[in-house]
């Protein structure tokens, strides 16, 4: 089943808890002798309020310092991120420029295999003995004739030269690319190291600032505690001095007999009473002697009454014993008469 919270129950529980807290506070006020006798210490309460306000002020300054440190660290991180993005963009721009300038399709080794303009470069004139445009009847081809040797050698030289240049370019490009990659990697590594160092310095500064703020905060707390303890000691000393003055100059130690009686009667104030006078002591002794004589007379009377009761009980016991003896005698006589009667009847029955 689902647990359903009833609003009335919550309100009732809150009211009960509030009344309990009020009762506990009232008990503390009632059972605390200092508060009950001297009242509420307004100055101590004011000191507590002032201390709490100072602690709130210090906490607020600490939070402001934290916020300032966080904003400074955030600005540093944003600046480093912007520099990394700009460096990455410049690196990509340089790489694209190198590709446009040094990596054209016409500079590739196998460009002649997929050159779209290869057919445009064909010449209609004879280029060699294997030219398909020349038939058998053209008398253009003879056995052992090599008309394309010079062109072939020239093309081979150009091709070798091109291959050599392409190899040189490839080695240069590879070397440049490796150097560029190494430079970019070193730059990236330096940026990362610099960012790490910056973050470490920021963290170190933040920790130092935090330690300084904590030290300042702890020092302020210690100073407030010392001030509060000094105020409490001073206040306790003043209260002790006032209490000593009240006790020394009060009616209790000065022994004023007029303040003992309550309403002029025989009752006395326990907190002010320190002893009785000689007249009161003599009166008490007389009363005690009188009470002792009365108690002795009551004991004598009680003793006589006990003796009388004892004699009466002895008489009653003796009378009871006599009655018992008389009863036992009557029982014996009745038993004898019964035996005689039974004997007589037995004889009559026997005769019959």
Chain segment 139-155, per-residue pLDDT in tens: 666 666 666 677 788 88
pLDDT, position 218: 84
* Whether 253 contacts 266, CB under 8 Å: no
The arithmetic mean of pLDDT across residues 323-344, rounded, is: 88
CA 106 to chain centre: 74
Rg of the chain on CA atoms, in Å: 66
144: left (phi over 0), alpha (psi -120 to 50) or beta: left
How far apart are the C-alpha atoms of 321 and 328, rounded to whole Å? 10
Region of poorest pLDDT, from 10-24, 157-171, 201-215, 238-252: 238-252
How far apart are the C-alpha atoms of 141 and 254, rounded to whole Å? 160
pLDDT, position 197: 86
b/e sequence 264-288, b meaning 16+ C-beta within 10 Å: eeeeeeeebeeeeeeeeeeeeeeee
* Whether 103 contacts 173, CB under 8 Å: yes
pLDDT band at 127 (very low <50, low <70, confident <90, very high): low
**Residues in CB range of 84: below 8 A, 6 or more apart:** 191, 195
Strand partners, 21: none
Region of poorest pLDDT, from 183-192, 233-242, 260-269, 300-309: 260-269
pLDDT tens digits, residue range 28-66? 767 766 666 665 666 667 777 888 888 888 888 888 888
Check whether 138 has a pLDDT greater than 70. Answer: no
Instruction: Report CA torsion sign: 162, 166, 167, 169.
Output: positive
pLDDT tens digits, residue range 149-185? 777 888 888 888 888 888 888 888 888 888 888 888 8
The one-character DSSP state at 147 is T
pLDDT, position 226: 87
pLDDT, position 297: 92
Closest-CA residue to 128 (of 160, 155, 100): 155
């Amino acid at each position: 089943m689902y647990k359903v919270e009833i609003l009335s129950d919550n309100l009732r529980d809150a009211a009960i808890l509030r009344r309990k807290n009020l009762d506990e506070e009232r008990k503390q006020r009632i059972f605390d002798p200092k508060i009950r006798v001297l009242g509420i210490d307004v100055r101590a309460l004011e000191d507590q309020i002032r201390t709490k306000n100072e602690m709130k002020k210090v906490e607020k300054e600490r939070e402001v310092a934290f916020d300032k440190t966080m904003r400074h660290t955030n600005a540093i991180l944003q600046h480093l991120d912007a520099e990394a993005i700009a460096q990455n963009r410049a690196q990509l721009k340089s790489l694209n420029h190198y590709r446009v300038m040094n990596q054209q399709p016409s500079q590739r080794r196998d460009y002649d295999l997929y050159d779209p303009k290869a057919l445009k470069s064909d010449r209609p004139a004879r280029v060699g003995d294997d030219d398909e445009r020349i038939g058998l009847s053209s008398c253009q081809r003879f056995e052992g004739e090599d008309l394309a040797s010079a062109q072939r050698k020239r093309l081979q030289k150009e091709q070798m030269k091109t291959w050599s240049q392409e190899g040189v370019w490839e080695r240069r490009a590879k070397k440049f690319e490796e150097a560029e990659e190494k430079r970019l990697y070193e730059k990236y590594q330096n940026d990362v190291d610099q960012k790490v160092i910056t973050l470490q310095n920021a963290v170190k500064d933040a920790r130092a600032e935090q330690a300084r703020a904590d030290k300042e905060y702890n020092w302020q707390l210690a100073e407030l505690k010392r001030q509060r303890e000094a105020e409490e000691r001073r206040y306790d000393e003043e209260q002790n001095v006032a209490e000593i003055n009240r006790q020394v100059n009060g009616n209790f130690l000065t022994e004023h007999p007029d303040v003992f009686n309550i309403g002029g009667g025989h009752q006395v104030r326990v907190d002010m009473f320190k002893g009785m006078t000689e007249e009161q002591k003599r009166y008490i002794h007389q009363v005690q002697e009188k009470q002792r004589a009365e108690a002795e007379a009551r004991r004598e009377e009680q003793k006589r009454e006990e003796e009388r009761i004892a004699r009466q009980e002895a008489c009653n016991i003796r009378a009871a014993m006599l009655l018992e003896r008389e009863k036992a005698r009557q029982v014996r006589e009745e038993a004898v008469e019964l035996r005689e009667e039974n004997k007589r009847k037995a004889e009559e029955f026997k005769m019959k």
